[in-house]
Structure 1
Amino acid sequence: MTYEEAAAYIAEIPKFTEKHELAHTREFLRRLGNPGIDRKVIHVAGTNGKGSVCAYMQAILLAMKKRTGFFTSPHLIVINERIRINNIQIGNEKFLEIFQKVKKTVDGMAADGIAHPSYFEFLFGMAMLAFEEADVEYIILETGLGGRLDATNAVEHPILTIITSISLDHTQYLGNTVREIAKEKAGIIKEGVPIIFDGTDEEASEVIIKRALEAHARCRKLTKNAYEIREITKKHIAFSRSSAYDKDVLWSINGCGIYQPMNVSLALEAMECVLDDREKDYEMWQKAVASVTWEGRMEEILPGIFLDGAHNPGAIRVFADTLQALEETEAVILFSAVADKEYGTMIEILCREVPAKQYIITEIEDGRKVSARELAEVFHRYTSREVCICPDVKKAFLTAAAKKGNGKLFCVGSLYLIGEIRRMIKEKEVEMN
């Protein structure tokens, strides 16, 4: 079997199996030898910001010479991105080797009448096995969907849990209110295991604190009072923390996403919790944080062209906050969305709070796509500014890039869109003047 065949097999999994109970995931892991059971696991859930918090923690752990595994989703270009060891995605040869070991276990399950793992379960099993074989000390696990029933929640003894910002997303699975969604996210809280969370939303906070008390889990709530933004430009943000540890330290972040100071603050609180006093080298931590670039999160992929994976109302709202802070009122917006997102609300926020020069609407190659024409109709309800329909992503990107002139182009609305643009640029399918 080749790497390409292995990747194709995994891509086909959703067609012949469904999501399972955690007992199924635990049996799957048991048959794999319970890889990573003795490692220091940090488990992260939330609606937005999970990947960024994980990336900042990873950077600090690596700066402290800790071997670290990171399981993240979704991938933007290749599936290997989901499994990182010391911030290097596993190569094709290692991916195939791990796949074959997991596939052998899955075949054994089938012989015993046990259902095939889901797409996410299969990749989670691969990640844990890869981390075990790499002998990592820390494992950072990002949930895929929700928390309580997520496959990553099969890990029963993490050393820390983190919940990032919570807003409406995946409502068909997680609930129709922030309170209901928070209950699902709070499902990762374990008996006696510390929990650090973004307490910006009061409804979500109430749910998380209640669950933490039930689990006798030491609880640390962060609000916007936890930090103060000192400077924001199109290239970086500088902020200070109100923490007694380093209130006079200035932290610098790559990019201009106004949401990142909270994510960095969560990561720093986490590191202060899991590392001992001898390892609290804030000068080293500053350098680690400043070095992080997280793909598709207010990422300047080309001069004046930004990719932001905002794909739900909460993320679009903070994207709008960022543009307002930058006083960016004449940008071009390239937008696409999938059907299971609340794209009507996303578009309303964009039109109301981001007075762009022009909106270019496209559609992604996915079964859940919303046609560019249908999206454009929603835009016309909320704006009188120019809305251009361009279904082909490549043509839409080139059109948007040309329209921006000396201004800025922001590509938002779908991680699939972000991944496709990154791929085109990486493979030089688009030539920029």
Structure 2
Amino acid sequence: MRIIDLRGRTLTRAELLAVVPRAAEALQNAATVATEIVADVRARGEEALREQADRFDRVSGHAVRVPAAHIAEAVGGLDPEVRAALEKAIVRVREASAAQVPEARTTRIGDGARIVQRWQPVARAGVYIPGGKAVYPSSVVMNVVPAQVAGVTSIALASPPQSDQGGRVHPTILGVAGLLGIDEVYAMGGAGAIGALALGVPSLGLDPVDVVSGPGNNFVAAAKRVVAGFVGTDAEAGATEILIVADGSADARLVAYDLVSQAEHDEQASAVLVTASQTLAAAVAAELERIVPATRHAERVTTALAGEQSAVVLVDDEAAAEAFSNAYAPEHLELHIVDAVEAAERYTSAGAIFIGGFAPVSLGDYLAGSNHVLPTGGQARYAAGLGSHTFLRPQQLVEYDRDGLAEVADAIVALAEAEALPAHGEAVTARFAGSAE
């Protein structure tokens, strides 16, 4: 991992953002390709999706809309231990997601005047589950459960066709979809799948959705930006990121394992260590030399750790570490520092924060109860991770009676005249003219 030495430097927020290690070129290339792919799906629908499956997934002639029998077969074929783990995850995510659904509230402005704030679920959601370098049944749980808790009644799921499964969606993905009652599943992947969910594909019986959610690589993240004008999206959860802030009290071995755990996702994964302890940095480097060659995906991990998006950042003190982390705004932030619970209050920009030595990102990926679909690429400075709120829209119901309107009628007319919109005022005064009640 490369070294970024910020010691002895006082950087502005803009300067911190400039030194943040991210693979900007890869993101730009993905944006160009994703735009072309989505446009092709818009123009040619199923034909484009089949050509993309042949090109990217080495699959042809497959059933793009998954037959119900395949889903039932997959549910029956789930490994009992995996099924038990998934069922436990479903319970935990359902409980945590329920806390994200606000109750309707009524505000009484005055006599005969009230505003009702309510949260309405979208009618239809599309969830995307990656299926390239790994299998993500946990992502089915993380996407579908919050939508169901929000009250979404129509959910379509897309995941890439697998060449080693005869063009079917991976059976574990299908199995957990079946456990959750999802019967509308499509074997399509990448940016094309995002475009198909957003735009619809009539020949497949795929109606457009209102919100698209789900993790994926940079191409999936870029495709969400392309379709954002047509549908709602969650944050662009692209290639995964982990930033670990650690001090001299941290266990270098655990820090190294946690960096590797995220680097194994993808060659574009970001793994960043921020510390004021050069001794710890050296110890982590030594642990990585031991751990990386022994891990199953050593080549992938090595590429990710050596990329421009990964680094060891040396800072002067904890305040500098906080400033860097808040500028970087990581998808996953781990705090391996003294008084981590108290310090977490000062770390304001992260998709999710994992506090202390017994809260690795792996916990959040599967069974913490929190959601693992989180904003990447610095979006955590302004965007939230996936939750039931992703599928909800706040609405205001305005309820005024005659007396309530009468109390503000003159003020409405005055403002309407000030804005040269007299008909606005007349729409109010008309209600009190003659015999109008």
Normalising to structure 1: TM-score of the pair?
0.29
Say which one has the larger Rg. Answer: 2
Q: Which has the higher contact order (CA 8 A, sep 6+)?
A: 2
TM-score by length of 2: 0.29
